Amino acid sequence: MDEIGKRKKDHLEITRAGNAGYEKTAGFERYDFIHDALPEMDPEEITCETRFLNRWFGFPLFISSMTGGHHDALPVNAVIAAFCEKYNLPFGVGSQRAMLEDPSLAATFSVVRDEAPSAFIASNIGGAQLAGGLEKEKIALLVDSVRADAVIVHLNPLQELRQTKGDRNFSGIREGIRTLVSDVEIPVIVKETGAGLSPTVIEQLVDCGVAAVDVAGAGGTSWGRVENIRSGATEAHFTDNWGIPTVDCLLSSKEHVEDKCELIASGGIRSSQDIAKSLCMGAVIAATAQPIIKAVLDNGYDGLEALYKQWEDDFRLILCLLGCDRPTDLDMIHLRRVTMR
């Protein structure tokens, strides 16, 4: 197995084990829901349908970009894709860089389209790969391999800096994103991978014309920690806990995205309560990675479906107890800041 394949396989194993999280939290516990004792609704009429990038989805959950590019990834992507097809959820494949270097790996991504002919699928490429300008033919290769509905660009300077042989030249990424936006006909989404997007970065991305930003804040999977574990270190490193908590990203970015681009909440989304709070804080949809990979690797399709059904049931309950009959009713008025003692 080549270097990238080995790294991707390590990522699956380390994150599945669940011990590569942040010490700090995503911040959702700082807010509590304001209970509505008079909901005045029939719970049967609640809908979870969510509009994102001009498409309707069954539930406000995006399955975050995770894997592909090594042969063990193929069955994982196939399971997630079949699940997204059934429940009409958007899904991002993992970084497709590996298939640019070894075209035989394209099947580990294209399996997603075989299993999910009508689902919303997003391609994925690193900002670092756009820095010098990625040829149009290469972009077309990535997009066509999954007949993508959107392209995701991931920003991960922390991970690249902590990785042996990481891509360390970050100059030109912003221009690379701007060029990508004008070169492709599908929406461009930019995400972090767990260290968060600040309001300043979000402003710059909005200026580049991206259709959506995914804050991917701190509090869930820590890529500093993942790379620290991979390096064989026995001591913690300060970057294990580096990043802006998801709640801070959401609350500080809301005004920068309004009407200009759509906001995705991710990084430490671990329950339907986190999803509902994210939507109250201005996100259109929430996204999650680690719980999905764990469910699939531990219990396959059935594990993933069980997790989803639990989240969907809980989310309906939350909507009812807040007096809301649809996700777009969720607003900051439904939250109160918890006073910490």
For 43-106, where are the alpha helices, taking DSSP H only?
73-87, 97-101
Is 170 or 321 the residue whose CB approaches ligand FMN more closely?
A: 170
Is 194 or 224 the residue whose CB approaches ligand FMN more closely?
A: 194
Is 108 or 288 the residue whose CB approaches ligand FMN more closely?
A: 288
Minimum CB–partner distance for residue 44 and ligand FMN (Å) = 31
∠ CA 44-265-297 to the nearest 5 degrees?
Answer: 85
Minimum CB–partner distance for residue 182 and ligand FMN (Å) = 22
Nearest to 145 by CA among 101, 107, 117: 107
Minimum CB–partner distance for residue 24 and ligand FMN (Å) = 12
Q: Which residues contact 216 (CB under 8 A, 6 or more apart)?
A: 64, 191, 192, 193, 194, 195, 196, 197, 246, 266, 267, 287
Minimum CB–partner distance for residue 294 and ligand FMN (Å) = 9
Closest residue to ligand FMN, judged by C-beta, is: 220
Is 130 or 324 the residue whose CB approaches ligand FMN more closely?
A: 130
Nearest to 159 by CA among 93, 53, 242: 242
**CA–CA separation, 51 and 123 (whole Å):** 20
Is 268 or 327 the residue whose CB approaches ligand FMN more closely?
A: 268
Minimum CB–partner distance for residue 154 and ligand FMN (Å) = 3
Question: To 10 degrees, what angle do helices 173-183 and 136-146 make?
Answer: 60
Residues near ligand FMN (CB under 6 A)? 11-12, 15, 64-67, 94-95, 124, 154, 191, 193-194, 216, 220-221, 266-269, 288-290, 293
Q: What is the CA radius of gyration of the chain?
A: 19
Tokens for 302?
A: 């059935």
Nearest to 285 by CA among 245, 256, 315: 315
Is 92 or 322 the residue whose CB approaches ligand FMN more closely?
A: 92
Is 286 or 335 the residue whose CB approaches ligand FMN more closely?
A: 286
Q: Which residues contact 111 (CB under 8 A, 6 or more apart)?
A: 74, 77, 78, 81
Minimum CB–partner distance for residue 153 and ligand FMN (Å) = 8
Minimum CB–partner distance for residue 43 and ligand FMN (Å) = 28
**33 alpha carbon, distance to own chain's centre:** 24
**Any idea of the CA torsion for 180, 181, 186, 191, to the nearest 10 degrees?**
80
Is 70 or 256 the residue whose CB approaches ligand FMN more closely?
A: 70
Minimum CB–partner distance for residue 19 and ligand FMN (Å) = 13
